Chain A
Amino acid sequence: MSKFDDTLSLIEEIERTSTPDAVCQQLLNLSSQYGLTCLLAGTLPRPRETASKIRDQNVFLNGWPMGWAERYFERNYIFIDPIATKLQSDLTAFTWDQARIDPAVATDANRMFGEATEFGLCAGFAIPFVTLEGSIASISLGGQRIELPPRAKGMLSLISTYTMGRAIQLRNNTKQQTLYRPLTHREIEAMRWAADGKTEWEISVIMSISEHTAAKHLNNARTKLGAVNRVQAIANAIRSGIIR
C-alpha cells in the first residue's frame, strides 16, 4: 500500500472510534514511531481559568504521563508555558524547542520544563488549530527522545487534524446526551421497540409487562426527551445517540 493509502485508512479508523481514549490511542500508534509517546489535546483556556474548569471544558484528550496533566493545571503552568504562548502567536506546527521562553517567566518556565523531564517529556511537537467558533485548539505530542523527519511532520499534522475533529465530535455527542435527564434501562428498551414500529401492546408482550406500564415507560421517555409526541421523542433519542 502507498503512504497515502495508509493515511486514508488511518483517518477511517479514527472516525470509527467511539471514545476519547480510543481516538488518543490511534494517533499515538502513529506518532510513537517518532518517539512521540504521549499527547494532550484541547482548547486554550481563558486567562486565570481554574484548574478544574480547564479539565472539564478545555481538555479533550489526556494522554499525558500519569499525574502530569493534573500537576500542569494545578500549578497554572499553562499560563506560563512557552509552548502555549507560541500556539497563539502563529498558527503553524512547531517542535517544542522552537518556543521562545519569555524572560519575565523564565524561572517558572524552566522549573516546569525540569519537572516535565522527570515525567518523561523532554521534547515534542505542537500543532495549533482554529475551531469553527474561532477559539485556538491544539494537540501537543511529547516523548523522551524524538526523531521527526520533515516529511513526517506534514503527515502527523494532517492526521492530528482528523484526531482533533473526531475528539470534538465525540464531545458534542456526549454534550447532547446530557442535555436530557437520563432515561432508565426499561425506558430505553421501550423506546428501541417503539423505534422499530412496535405498538404499546406488542412492547408489553416483548418486555413481559402490562400495556399500561409500557405506555408509562414511553411517556416518561417522551417527557425526559423534551418532546411533544412520540415521533419527536424517537427522533430526539436517535439524534442524541440514546438509541440507534
Chain B
Amino acid sequence: MIKVISGADESVFPDIFEQAAILRHSVFVEEMGWEDLRRPDGRERDQFDDAYAVHHFCMRNDRVIGYIRMLPTLRPYLLSEVFPDLCEGAPPRAANCYELTRYCVAPAYREGKRGVSSAGSELIAGFVEWGLACGVNRVILEFEPMWVLRAMQLRFLVRPLGFQQKIGDQQIVATEVTFDKRTLATIREFRGHPYPVVEFCGQLAEQIPRQAYAS
C-alpha cells in the first residue's frame, strides 16, 4: 500500500517521515554516494521538504520500504533550481505538473536482477493514481535514459526536456511523462493487480473525495 501524505502533516506522522528520511539517507548517501546530501544524523532531507511537497510511502508490515517525493512545479523544484542545465527551454511550471524525486526502494525489496520490483511498480501505480485523483497528469523526472523505454512500455507519453548529461557516475535525462486512465490500466495489468494502491492520509484524505481514486 502507498500512503500519500502532505509535507504539511509531518508532525502528525513523525514516525513515517523519520523512516523515510533514514531510507533516503541509506540509499542516496551510503549506497549511491551522493556525498552532498550526507548528514551527521543519518536522515536525508533538503530545502524542498516543505509543506508543499507530497510524500508517497510504500508500506510493508507498517514499515516504509519505498518512497518518492512529488514537488509542485509552480514553486521552486529540483530541475528549476539545481539542474537547470538539464532543461533546454524554460522549466515547466503548471498546476497539473509535478516533479518526482528521491525514488528509492529498500535493498531487501528489489527482487529481480534488472526488472522493476513490485515495490517499484507499486510506487509507479501510486503516483499515477494520485495524479488522476487530484488533477495532475504530467510528471517531470530526472532519471537514467533506461527508464524512457520502461515508461513507454507502461503507456506514458514520454518527452525529453533536454539532452542527457553525466551527473556523478550516472547519465541523466530530464523527461516529462504524461498519463491518463489508459496508463493506469496498463500499469495495473503489468503488475497483475487491478486494485487501487493509494491511501490518502491526513489533510489530503479530507481534500480528495474518496470516489476520485477508489475506481
Contacts and interface: CB of A to CB of B under 8 A. Distances in A.
Given A134-B112, A134-B114, A158-B173, A129 B149 contact: yes
Contacts of A57: none
Nearest to A169: B152
Interface string B153-164: 111011110111
Contact of A168 (B112, B145, B153, B159): B153
A7 interface: yes
Interface in B150-206: 150-155, 157-160, 162-164, 173, 190
Nearest to B190: A132
B149 A157 contact: no
Nearest to B113: A134
A11 B160 contact: yes
A131 B160 contact: no
Interface stretch (A16-24, A159-167, A188-196, A220-228): A159-167
Contacts of A165: 148-149, 151-153, 158
B115 interface: yes
A161 B145 contact: yes
Contacts, number: 70
Contacts of A130: 114-115, 146, 149-150
Contacts of B149: 129-132, 137, 161, 164-165, 168
Contact of B145 (A4, A137, A157): A157
Contacts of B164: 154, 157-158
Interface of A: 2, 4, 7-8, 11, 15, 91, 129-137, 154-155, 157-158, 161-162, 164-166, 168-169
21 contacts: A2-B88, A4-B88, A11-B160, A15-B157, A130-B150, A131-B150, A131-B153, A132-B149, A132-B150, A132-B153, A135-B114, A155-B163, A157-B145, A158-B163, A161-B148, A161-B149, A162-B148, A162-B158, A165-B148, A165-B151, A165-B153
